[in-house]
Structure 1
Amino acid sequence: MPVRKIKKNYRNVTGVSSATKAIGDAQFESTLERDFIRLAEFSPDIAKFEVQPVKISWVDATGAERTYTPDVLVTFSNPEISKPWLCEVKYRADLKKYWPDLHPKFIRGIRYAKQRGWRFRLITEVEIRGPELEAAKFLLPFRHKNIPPRQVHQVLNLVEELKVTTPAALLANISSDPYTQAEWIPALWLLVAQFRVGINLQEPLSMTSRIWSLE
């Protein structure tokens, strides 16, 4: 559970994301943290994550008591391959601007993570914001849509039959009627969102994106 509650403020966007993988509330203090949570929720490699999981305390060289609360602890689906990440999510401009204050905190974060067999990671907008985030924004809602199982199975079978295709070509195999195609496309996006159909998430999604069978 988060070690502290994030308060509303008028400088940054704060709130709580809806996330099935979150341990406790998926709170965020900025749009960048919100986007990181969205990526974590979307990624098949991440099993669980916890916002503000620990508070690290120490006494500095002047004798003053200091504390540091990292942003997110990420646990991966295959712990034998990937150790948990203790993450700090920051804009690059803020890292540069506040580095003298942040650096001692990060040193403590690195030590804390190493003692537990974790990795400490600085995550910025460079790692977060890109085509995969845009795909996550688009695809995540399809995971919660009530789509007829018959459509899902038929689309999956068709992708397996075609091996490699595009959304536009797949729908053309179902019907030439655009209204019928519009009824069937959510089933495809559900399968992509569930990683049951392959697609390149490092490129913008479109009706001409290459999709392929994972069977």
Structure 2
Amino acid sequence: MPVRIVPKNYRNLTGLVLNTRTQSMTAFESSLERDFLLLLDFDLEVEFYEEQPVTITYQDDRGRRRTYTPDVFVRYRMDPLKAKPTSPLLCEVKYRDDLRQYWTMYRPKFRAAGRYARQRGWRFRLVTERDVRTPYLENVKFLRSYRTMPLNEPHRTRLLAALSVLGEAHPTSLLNAISQDRRQQAQILPTLWQLLATRQIGTDLNQPLTMQCRIWLKESS
């Protein structure tokens, strides 16, 4: 169970987002932390994540007892193709200007978290807006709601069959290959986004997702 109880906060954005790994709500205390949680939830390699699950006790430079609770714990799925499994992560999510302004205060906490993580075979990582606020995030925000919508199997079958013939396409050319009827294309398009969201159709999610982006059939499909 998470350590943290998110307080009312009128300065930073606080709230809850759905964690599809546990089918429960995960708390956040800033929009940056919320966006990082969205990335984790969309990442197929992430097996489990939880907000602030541990509180670390350490001594400061004066020998006084202190505590620190990192923001997020992440555990990854075992990949048989990797020679070495990805180590679990303890993450702290902070804006870069916040780190610069309060680095002297944060540094002992982060050192303690690094020691705590190493003792358990984990890694400690600082996550900033440079890691989170990317075109990939915008694509995740757009696609995430399509993952759980009811699947239209006839539309799925037509999309995958057409893309199998084309080999590679973009959304516009794929829809044109299926039908020239614009109304029918509009009906099929949500299923295309769903297949991208569930990785049955591939694309480069590090680039803006448009009707002209390159898409292809994933081998598992």
TM-score normalised to structure 2 length = 0.93
Corresponding residue SS for 1:93: helix
Q: Which moved more, 1:16-25 or 1:29-38?
A: 16-25
CA separation of 1:114/1:24 partners in 2, compared to 1, >3 Å: closer, same or farther? Answer: farther
Whether contact under 8 Å (2:18, 2:24) holds in the other structure is no
Distance 2:140 2:99 in 1: 26
Matched, 1:40 2:44: no
Matched, 1:214 2:218: yes
The residue that corresponds to 1:8 in the other structure is 8
- Deviation string for 1:120-179 (max 9, x for gaps)? 110100010111100100000001112321211221222222110000000001111111
Deviation at 1:187, TM superposition (A): 0.9
- Deviation string for 1:73-110 (max 9, x for gaps)? 11112264311111000000000011011000000000
Matched, 1:175 2:179: yes
Corresponding residue SS for 1:18: strand
Deviation at 1:22, TM superposition (A): 4.6
Q: Which moved more, 1:116-125 or 1:141-150?
A: 141-150
Whether contact under 8 Å (2:158, 2:178) holds in the other structure is no
Distance 2:51 2:215 in 1: 34
Distance 2:119 2:95 in 1: 27
The residue that corresponds to 1:69 in the other structure is 69
Whether contact under 8 Å (1:75, 1:85) holds in the other structure is yes
RMSD: 1.4
> Unaligned regions of 5+ residues in structure 1, if any?
none
Whether contact under 8 Å (1:156, 1:191) holds in the other structure is no
The residue that corresponds to 2:127 in the other structure is 123
The residue that corresponds to 2:157 in the other structure is 153
The residue that corresponds to 1:202 in the other structure is 206
Whether contact under 8 Å (1:88, 1:123) holds in the other structure is yes
Which AA in structure 2 matches 1:155?
L
The residue that corresponds to 1:19 in the other structure is 19
Deviation at 1:214, TM superposition (A): 1.4
The residue that corresponds to 2:109 in the other structure is 105
Q: 138, 142, 165: which one pairs with 1:138?
A: 142
Q: Aligned residue pairs: how many?
A: 215
TM-score normalised to structure 1 length = 0.96
Deviation at 1:24, TM superposition (A): 5.7
Corresponding residue SS for 2:19: coil
Corresponding residue SS for 1:98: helix
Distance 1:22 1:36 in 2: 17
- Deviation string for 1:22-71 (max 9, x for gaps)? 58641100000000000001111211101001000123232322110000
